[in-house]
Amino acid sequence: MAANAAHSKSRHHDVLVIGAGMSGLACASRLHEHRHFQEQGRLLVLEARDRIGGRIESVHVNGHRLDTGANWIHGVGTKSKPNPLMSILPHKRYKSLSGTVAFSVPTNAKSQNMERDSDPINSNQVQASDLVIPASTAGTIMGAFWDMFESLHETAVSIAPDSAKKTTALKSIKQNTDFLRTLSDIPEQYRPTLGSMPQFVEVVEAAPLAAQSAEQEKGEAGLGLLEFAIDDFEGEHVFLQDGYTQIVEEVGKDLVAAGIVELGVEVERIDWTSRPVRVETNQGTYTADQVVCTLPLGVLQHDVENVGKVTSSSLFSPALPADKQESVQKLGFGTLDKILLVYQDPWWVKKPWITLWKKGMINNAPGSDSSGDGGIQELDKTSPDVFMGFTAELPGIQLNTDGTTAAGPRLLSIMNLQDLTDKPALSCFVACSNAVQIEAMSDDQASGIVHRTFTQWLGREPPRPSAVHVTQWASDKYSRGSYSHMIKDLSEFRHRVAFQEPLSSPNGGIVRFAGEHTDVDHFATVHGALISGWREADAILNSLKVASNENRTTTG
């Protein structure tokens, strides 16, 4: 996908969009629906990468196309309030997850020194030393966890925002009497398992329950309860079976065809007090009457020279106003990585392994619409969509029956891509400081953790993967992480709202901001990025007196 030379000749545009992720493409495509912006030189999108999509990306591993970033539509919505992603490519394939097999925390967890030379797998029997939790108990454990997860939202919206700001999600979990009661009532051998399940909140939110890594250095206390005080879309969370890049390609296809997207253009400085706005890049200087900056929050945070206080930055000249610098520094930005393991043959959907799944599989999975009864239902399938268990090779956190916490093994959530995408692959999620640890390893080291963990879960060694890909979102200089969150005592919704006020000066142009981090109710989601891009496009159209329902040549 090459840059269009005709557009490269013109260095001044009415609107310049920085970034061709979902928010940038949404903004530009909405503008491009109007004849005004279909004229040559009116609109341009600059993208530093050699592709569009931003944090939505796919790679080929052993010939199989796998998503490295976004996978989910978080809440399909209702008839009266549908998620706008559902109307893009209306015939796309998607499904909610069905089936979880959970493994208990091992009593004597072996890690790096585990025996790796297990007998070859040539029988129809699996050793009895597996850690699969029986369905009846697994249903209780998963049901208690999902009830607790739902209670975070219920508690967050029932108290004053200032109280939610000052409370950690972990404290709310510790005070959840129903969860603690179940933790005390289940058989003692499964208490470490249920007590460690809150770690899955870190995977969902890409945010630490307790301060870790960079947040610890800033003296911060982890994920705030305010994270859950939002009005997002209802309905099931569904997995896109043919990849998220199809959505990106659909939103961006007219822009790419028109030559409006230039790739390989890295923005180095934005002079927002000049008129027009000057944007200096590795490919020269561009100017525009209005600029829409969709750089991820992680990139904006990295640009601040001294972490922890309001200072100047190298990207914006002059420095961002105090309110926006405060927003940049007080919102959280976390990482969710994947260890993608591709196999010659999807062993987990075949004998002898499916005999294990049968005794432990429940219809209760991350992102599913399971509820109250613990999800113990007969499933018309032989393998689960999700495996959940623990490894001692990465540090985790565990809740005790008295509400205290202690160090424990790390929860691993592993998705069955054979069932979801027809690819012989597994996708293991790692978040926060664990993600940073994994990124520092080789692919073989990272996959080794998953392989040894499966060996311990199953009681014998499964086949090894034929290829591995480990994502690197924290160290990717064009993302610096995955998505934003709310930090206890620091983050407020006004910090997101501040991005919705454009930068302007008496003698300068206008710089606007879009991206998931700029939306109050839909942050940390692809639809949040989409909506934010539309928001800024509508603001531009309004500023130009172009009614958003007039002069379109295509339907929105």
CB neighbourhood size of 188 (10 A): 8
The β-bridge relationship of strands 267-271 and 64-67 is: unpaired
3-state class of 157 per DSSP? Answer: helix
Which residue among 418, 436, 470 closes a domain? 470
Domain match, 221 and 247 both? no
Residue 127 reports pLDDT greater than 60: no
Whether 517 and 331 have beta carbons less than 8 Å apart is answered as yes
Taking only the tens place, the pLDDT of each residue in 449-508 is: 999 999 999 999 999 999 999 999 999 999 999 999 999 999 999 999 999 999 998 877
Residue 311 reports pLDDT greater than 60: no
The CATH number that applies at residue 272 is 3.50.50.60
Domain match, 199 and 146 both? yes
Determine the pLDDT at residue 10: 64
Give burial (CB, 10 Å; 0-12/13-18/19+) of 129: exposed
The reply to whether 69 falls in a domain is: no
Determine the pLDDT at residue 323: 95
Domain match, 149 and 282 both? no
Write down the mean pLDDT value for the chain.
89
3-state class of 5 per DSSP? Answer: helix
Q: Which residue has the higher pLDDT, 110 or 505?
A: 505
With pLDDT > 90 as the criterion, what percentage of the chain qualifies? 82
Taking only the tens place, the pLDDT of each residue in 150-165 is: 999 999 999 999 999 9
Straight-line distance from the first to the last Cα atom of the chain, in angstroms, rounded to the nearest whole number:
25
- The amino acid present at 75, given as its one-letter code, is G
Residue 369 reports pLDDT greater than 70: no
The β-bridge relationship of strands 12-18 and 284-293 is: parallel
Domain match, 465 and 495 both? no
Token pair belonging to 306: 């001294």
Query: Pick from 418, 518, 411, 340: which is nearest to 142 by CA?
Result: 411
Query: Pick from 418, 442, 416: which is nearest to 429 by CA?
Result: 416
Whether 502 and 268 have beta carbons less than 8 Å apart is answered as no
Domain match, 226 and 344 both? yes
Burial 423-432 (b: 16+ CB within 10 A, else e): bbbbbbbbbb
Give burial (CB, 10 Å; 0-12/13-18/19+) of 39: exposed
Q: How far apart are CA 168 and CA 462, in angstroms?
A: 39
Determine the pLDDT at residue 118: 40
List, in sequence order, every residue forming a beta bridge with 339; answer none if it has no partner.
428, 470
Determine the pLDDT at residue 366: 54
Domain match, 462 and 500 both? no
pTM here?
0.91
Query: Pick from 238, 242, 199, 245: which is nearest to 222 by CA?
Result: 199
List, in sequence order, every residue forming a beta bridge with 389; answer none if it has no partner.
412
Query: Pick from 278, 296, 300: which is nearest to 287 by CA?
Result: 278
In the chain, the number of structural domains is: 2
Determine the pLDDT at residue 309: 47
* Mean pLDDT value across residues 305-312: 48
Residue 224: give the domain boundaries: 130-239+336-470
Q: How far apart are CA 469 and CA 340, in angstroms?
A: 5
Taking only the tens place, the pLDDT of each residue in 169-179 is: 999 999 999 99
Domain match, 460 and 503 both? no
The reply to whether 459 falls in a domain is: yes
Determine the pLDDT at residue 54: 98
